[in-house]
């Protein structure tokens, strides 16, 4: 049995196909893209209002795809399938973004490429995560490993295991990065202490910690570069 929304949905899909790939002013708006995406999880219901609610709740497309399953499902009009769909797309976006660079393309002499790579590690993340990047003697990245995943406000890792991993990989340089969920780029005292401890632990085995970078959405803060005086006081 057909629904009164079937005609509207087909028109929206046709419009999407017409606009796909165009870069002029004839672009589908954010709420319309969400509306179309929700077609595939919410049958025979007007998803336009739900799309607007998502943007009102999370402020932007990025906010929607960074939101947790638990927060998504509490938005009126959302259900388990639609929340899972958005989380699935979020994870796919992160995988797609990370595939832009191979490890050998990332080196310590290309700051812009490193920051771009680090930002992509946290697309769609609704919890704090800590990553360790290791580099060889020529500054080319050997590996990038997630050390820990925590809550929406903190994550911890074992400094001894981190040092052992760097030694086993034959690294000469290392970089630490983690994300902040709360739109605050300022490092906590725990961030500073962790940076100092890891710096000393790696230095003791001949590995130089280049930087500890906080990623907060589109912003970033280099702890060693910006807070060197505070680190010396610890």
Specify whether the CB–CB gap between 36 and 16 falls below 8 A: yes
Do 174 and 141 meet the contact criterion of CB atoms below 8 Å apart?
no
Handedness of CA 14, 17, 22, 28 (dihedral sign): positive
pTM equals 0.71
CATH of 6-96, one of 3.90.1310.10, 3.40.1390.30, 1.10.150.20, 3.40.140.10: 1.10.150.20
Task: Please tell me what DSSP assigns to residue 217.
Answer: T
Q: What is the secondary structure of 11-42 as a DSSP string? A: HHHHHHHHHTT--SS----HHHHHHHHHHTTS
Question: Residue 188: what pLDDT?
Answer: 92
Architecture of domain 101-233: 3-Layer(aba) Sandwich (3.40)
Determine the pLDDT at residue 217. Answer: 81
Question: Which pLDDT score, from 0 to 100, does residue 187 have?
Answer: 94
Inter-residue contact 221 to 213 (CB < 8 Å): yes
pLDDT per residue rounded down to tens, the chain (234 residues):
455 566 888 999 988 888 876 655 457 899 999 999 999 999 888 999 999 999 999 988 888 998 889 999 999 999 999 999 999 998 888 777 766 555 556 777 778 888 988 988 888 888 899 999 999 999 988 888 999 888 756 678 899 999 999 999 999 999 999 999 887 889 999 999 999 999 999 999 999 999 999 999 889 999 999 999 999 998
pLDDT of residue 7: 85
Q: Where are the domains of the chain?
A: 6-96, 101-233
Q: Which tokens hold the place of 90?
A: 């979020």
| Residue-level pLDDT at 25 | 45
């Amino acid at each position: 049995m057909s629904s009164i929304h079937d005609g509207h949905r087909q028109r929206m899909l046709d419009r999407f196909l017409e606009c796909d790939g165009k870069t002029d002013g004839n672009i589908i708006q954010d709420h319309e893209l969400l509306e179309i995406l929700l077609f595939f999880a919410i049958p025979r219901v007007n998803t336009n209002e739900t799309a607007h609610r998502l943007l009102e709740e999370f402020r932007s497309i990025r906010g929607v795809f960074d939101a947790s399953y638990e927060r998504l499902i509490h938005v009126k009009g959302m259900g388990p399938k639609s929340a899972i769909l958005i989380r699935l797309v979020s994870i796919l976006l992160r995988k797609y973004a990370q595939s832009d660079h191979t490890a050998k393309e990332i080196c310590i002499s290309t700051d812009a490429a490193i920051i771009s790579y680090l930002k992509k590690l946290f697309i769609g993340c609704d919890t704090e995560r800590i990553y360790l990047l290791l580099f060889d003697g020529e500054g080319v990245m050997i590996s990038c490993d997630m050390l820990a995943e925590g809550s929406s406000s903190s994550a911890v890792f074992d400094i001894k295991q981190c040092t052992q991993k760097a030694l086993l990989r034959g690294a000469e340089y290392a970089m630490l990065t983690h994300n902040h969920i709360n739109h605050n780029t300022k490092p906590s005292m725990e961030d500073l202490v962790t940076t100092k401890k890891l710096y000393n632990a790696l230095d003791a085995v001949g590995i130089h910690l280049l930087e500890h970078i906080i990623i907060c959405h589109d912003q970033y803060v280099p702890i060693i570069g910006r807070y060197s005086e505070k680190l010396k006081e610890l």
